Structure 1
Amino acid sequence: MVTAVGKGRNVVVVTKKYQITIPEEVRKGPGTKPGDKIVFIKTGKGYLLMKVEDLLDEMCRVTEDIEEVSEAVRESFKRAIEELEKQEDS
C-alpha cells in the first residue's frame, strides 16, 4: 500500500537526529507497526512512504504482468510468422 501525506495536517518536525514521528493517520493506513521497514520513494511531486514488504509485493505483481505481456507478444509474433510462411507456400 502506498501512503501519501495529505490535507496539510500531517506536518511533522525533524529532530536534531533527523528523526520524525509518523502521524497516526498515516501509519494506520498501511497497518504500519514498530519494526516495519519503510522506503521513501521520490516522485515528481515529493515522496511516497511504502512498507518494504508492500513494495516487494508490487514489484512481483508488475513482473508477473510483464511476463504475461511478453508471452502474448511472443505468441502474436509466432502466429504472424506462421501466417507469412503459409502465404509464401501458396
Structure 2
Amino acid sequence: MSSSDGAETTRVTDKGQTTIPQELRKKFGIEPGDEVVWTEGDEGLTLRKKADLPHYGIAAEGMTDEEAELVAEELVEEMDELQKPDVDR
C-alpha cells in the first residue's frame, strides 16, 4: 500500500516475514534469492540490497562481512560521484 509521501506499507507475518512491494523490487533490482541488509539507525530500520562483492573486485581476505560491505558501499558512492555530469569541474 502506497502513502502520499511515497512510503510503502506491508505487514509482518507470524514468522517475521514481509513482502517487498513489486514496484520497489523492480526499481532496486531485487530478485528471488537476493540477500538484503537490514540496518538499524537513529530513524529506525533501513533495508537495501546486499552488494555483490565479487562484482566490485574486492579482495576481502581477512575482512569481516561488515567491513567488506562498507568498502563496497564506498566504492559504489565513488563511482556514482565520478559518473555525475562534469558541471563544477
TM-score (norm 1): 0.51
Displacement of 1:41 in angstroms is 1.1
Q: Give aligned-pair identity as a percent.
A: 40
Alignment gaps of 5+ in structure 1: 1-5, 65-90
Considering only CA atoms, is the larger Rg found in Structure 1 or Structure 2? 1
For the residues of structure 1 that align with 2:73 and 2:7, how far apart are their CA atoms? Answer: 28
Could you list the runs of 4 or more consecutive aligned residues of structure 1 that deviate by over 3 angstroms after TM superposition? Answer: none
Alignment gaps of 5+ in structure 2: 53-67, 79-89
3-state DSSP of counterpart to 2:19: coil
Cα displacement string for residues 37-79 of structure 1 (whole angstroms, at most 9, x for unaligned residues): 00011121112211111683214x28x8xxxxxxxxxxxxxxx
> Which structure has more RCO (C-alpha within 8 Å, separation ≥ 6)?
1
RMSD: 2.8
For the residues of structure 1 that align with 2:73 and 2:6, how far apart are their CA atoms? Answer: 27
Higher helix share: 1
